[in-house]
Structure 1
Amino acid sequence: MKTSELKDFLDSKVELYNNPKFIESDPIQIPHQFNKKEDIEIAGFLTATIAWGNRKSIINNAKKMMQLLDNAPHDFVMHYQDNDLKTLESFVHRTFNGNDFIQFIKSLQYIYNTYGGLEAVFSKHAQQGSLQNSIHHFKQSFFEIEHLQRTQKHVSDPLKNSAAKRINMFLRWMVRQDNVGVDFGIWSSLSPSQLSCPLDVHSGNVARKLGLLNRKQNDAKALNELDNSLRKLDPNDPVKYDFALFGLGVFEGF
């Protein structure tokens, strides 16, 4: 397939899947329950953190997370008492347990108090064509306070060759303005051109079949290769093709 044909094909799939109906079956529905910027970003970050495995299970457990935070995530993060944290101990999603959840709430409060919020800490180390360095420094900042060693595994580090799928998905939600109401685009200090595609089994397999990716592992090197391919198709909004790759893989069994 020629580049122009591939672009037309993928653009048509973006149009098909990047619309409000996509929200109904996707974890992005959780932050869509909120209107306040800080609620959206905290709900989005926590939901993206547990976004692996069965999608129904992800959505159900993300709903439980919000209920445990009194459906006011920012208020909870900023004003919790020790007794409030105890109620989180029962939470579990795969290997992410109540102790991890408590650690995340403590670290989020630290990020808001010390750096002025999630957007500020990601923006601080952003590079012109990539946010992978930002993710690395975010992880360092997130665990500057005393923390459980085991919880570190729940925040990926691209500089340790991780594709960081879940954080890249979260960043897509926050930064990309799609004008149709799926992605939020509430972080104006960053640009969609800096985003990387959330690379997972589905998007990776489809990308390989389409000749956008050759590397077999879904790691940071593969992500860089895929990013380069997608930037050639649309340098201003490369991760819009996440909708096409994901839709082709999950909904069409491409």
Structure 2
Amino acid sequence: MTRAELKEFLDEKADFYEQNWFIESDPISIPHRFTKKEDIEIAGFLSATIAWGQRKTIINNANKLMKWMDESPHDFVMNASGADLQPLENFVHRTFNGSDLLFFIEGLKKLYENHGGLEGTLGNPKIPTAKERISDFKRKFFEPEHLKRTQKHVSDPMKGSSAKRINMFLRWMVRSPKKGVDFGIWKNLSPKDLMLPLDVHTATQGRKFKLLKRKQNDWKAVEEITQSLQKLDLTDPVKYDFALFGIGAHEKLNSQ
């Protein structure tokens, strides 16, 4: 199909999937339980961190975590006592375990105390590229003492990672809430600054639609497919995450 035909098709699919009904079966449902900015971003960050595997399991475990955090994630991060933290030692989601979670609570606390929180780091407009922002965030997040193994749970595009979960979290925080799915609570970045969250669905569909040639699902692939999507919508290329993911996860469709 021509570029104009592809844009029309993907615009329609993006509009179809970016709807309130999408929220219930997606990890974004967890931060949608909150109204306070810091609660939304902390709940979103922790939910995105464990967003691999079966979506039902992701949502169940994220809900369990919010319950352990007394349904007030920001207050918990900033003020939890040793007794409050103790139940978190039993948390497990695949390879993300209680020791990882306890550090994440400590790392988040230090971010809010010293670096302007999640938006002050991941949303820092003074750092020119998403690649550099994410890498700088990881450096600051791991300033407190930590187990080396915990570092694997925060991706670094400087090392080639696609950083899918962080890019997904950034989409949640930055894109407009007009459709009722994303939040748009971070104002320092705009949707044009975002990179596509690249997973098996978006990558497969990206190749079918000739938006992506690279075979590896790495940061270079993220840059390539995002640049292709910018040709369809320069101001909001990542809206097509809904189209590509929706087609890949819910439809059996060839690109012909």
User: 1:73 deviation in Å?
Assistant: 0.2
- For these two proteins, the number of residue pairs brought into alignment is 253
Letter aligned with residue 77 of structure 2: V
- Contact 2:161-2:219 at 8 Å conserved across structures: yes
Per the alignment, residue 252 of structure 2 pairs with 253
Give a deviation string over 1:36-66, Cα, whole Å, max 9, x none. 0000000000000000010000000010110
Give a deviation string over 1:173-228, Cα, whole Å, max 9, x none. 00001401100000011111000010000110010000000111100011110011
User: 1:127 deviation in Å?
Assistant: 4.7
> Taking structure 1 as reference, are residues 175 and 164 closer, same or farther at Cα in structure 2, changes over 3 Å only?
same
Gaps of 5+ in 2: none
RMSD across aligned C-alpha pairs, in angstroms?
Answer: 1.0
Letter aligned with residue 49 of structure 1: T
Letter aligned with residue 108 of structure 1: L
Distance (Å, rounded) in 2 between the aligned partners of 1:108 and 1:13:
36
Per the alignment, residue 240 of structure 1 pairs with 239
User: 1:126 deviation in Å?
Assistant: 5.1
Letter aligned with residue 233 of structure 1: L
Give a deviation string over 1:59-110, Cα, whole Å, max 9, x none. 0001011011111000000001122111101100000001100000000000
Per the alignment, residue 158 of structure 1 pairs with 157
Distance (Å, rounded) in 1 between the aligned partners of 2:216 and 2:164:
13
Does 1:176 pair with 2:175? yes
- Contact 1:126-1:133 at 8 Å conserved across structures: no
Q: Output aligned runs, 1:26-175, within 5 Å.
A: 26-124=26-124, 127-128=127-128, 130-175=129-174
Distance (Å, rounded) in 2 between the aligned partners of 1:96 and 1:125:
30
Segment of structure 1 superposing worse, 184-193 or 78-87: 78-87
TM-score, L = length of structure 2: 0.97
Per the alignment, residue 185 of structure 2 pairs with 186
User: 1:124 deviation in Å?
Assistant: 2.9
Identical amino acids, percent of aligned pairs: 60
User: 1:7 deviation in Å?
Assistant: 0.2
Per the alignment, residue 18 of structure 1 pairs with 18
Distance (Å, rounded) in 2 between the aligned partners of 1:179 and 1:207:
25
Letter aligned with residue 134 of structure 1: R
TM-score, L = length of structure 1: 0.97
